[in-house]
Structure 1
């Protein structure tokens, strides 16, 4: 009798353990794309205002990129809106100056000018002028194509909620 009871307890614990593991894997599934951005408002210096949306997105190879859209407002000067892409370790080195290609889900193509004319702060950083492009972009997912040497590119998918946050950054301080 005790052996049978031990066996039943063992099977019960095994089933509960497998069920628990399945639930945790389903909640944190690596196949479900997540993109959580956050819009912040900063005042780095008196009169200077910075609005920013920041998130981490994967490229087609699974490398992680920090994607930051920011709007800078300086007293008595023009407002600037830029998109900065920062590759994490093992990301490709970017070449400058090369435009960023933006493709909408409906097939429209835009190009953003590379802000770093000669040299970026690090080889895996790119920054692009979004001042005139952002107002033209539709509210739909985007595909960013970062140019590499030899007619190759790195593709990063930008989900719809992130595009909406970019619009919020554009409206703030307007």
Structure 2
């Protein structure tokens, strides 16, 4: 049987050891299975300083041109118990320059439209926020969304060409979990 396997594997002019062949087949199988499974982000928890917690969810979103954006939902809980829930959107450098005078528009596939105020000036008091980064207060909007209904974000840009980002329902569910008390 072993001789048969070796002859079968070495049908061309290169001989491959049975163990290498088996490892290669297993590796390829894992790649196929691994690539077919959906990727789920995880809510991380960080203690920024005593009594102040930061919860984050990171997602990659595609715009209408196929470019990838990073979306980071934050919940910052202050020592006295107040909480801020925001969404930071980042286009890669050289991408869109965001218009921070306009709100973010959230539109469900059923036509429900909500807005979120730009709070980019709150990101850092020491340095200017880069043009490709925007942060929005989404606490109220998240409470009005149904997690099962896909969402589209419309990001205003300085050139007047709004960018549309598709948000899968899994991301909405994760953001709502992050925002819950």
CA distance in 2 between partners of 1:150 and 1:61 (Å): 16
Query: How many residue pairs end up in the alignment?
Result: 158
Select which of 154, 162, 175 maps to 1:145.
Answer: 154
CA distance in 2 between partners of 1:59 and 1:111 (Å): 18
TM-score scaled to structure 1, two decimals? 0.76
The aligned residue for residue 170 of structure 2 is 161
The structural deviation recorded for 1:151 is 3.6
Contact 2:56 2:72 in 1 (8 A): yes
Aligned-residue CA RMSD in angstroms? 3.1
The aligned residue for residue 60 of structure 1 is 64
1:28–1:77 CA distance, 2 compared to 1 (3 A): closer
What secondary structure, in the 3-state scheme, does the structure 1 residue paired with 2:120 have?
coil
CA distance in 1 between partners of 2:48 and 2:172 (Å): 25
CA distance in 2 between partners of 1:101 and 1:113 (Å): 9
Write the deviation string for residues 86-118 of structure 1: whole angstroms up to 9, x where unpaired: 112332111222200100111100010000259
The aligned residue for residue 125 of structure 1 is 133
Unaligned runs of 5+ in 1: 1-8, 11-20
The structural deviation recorded for 1:26 is 9.9
Unaligned runs of 5+ in 2: 1-10, 13-27
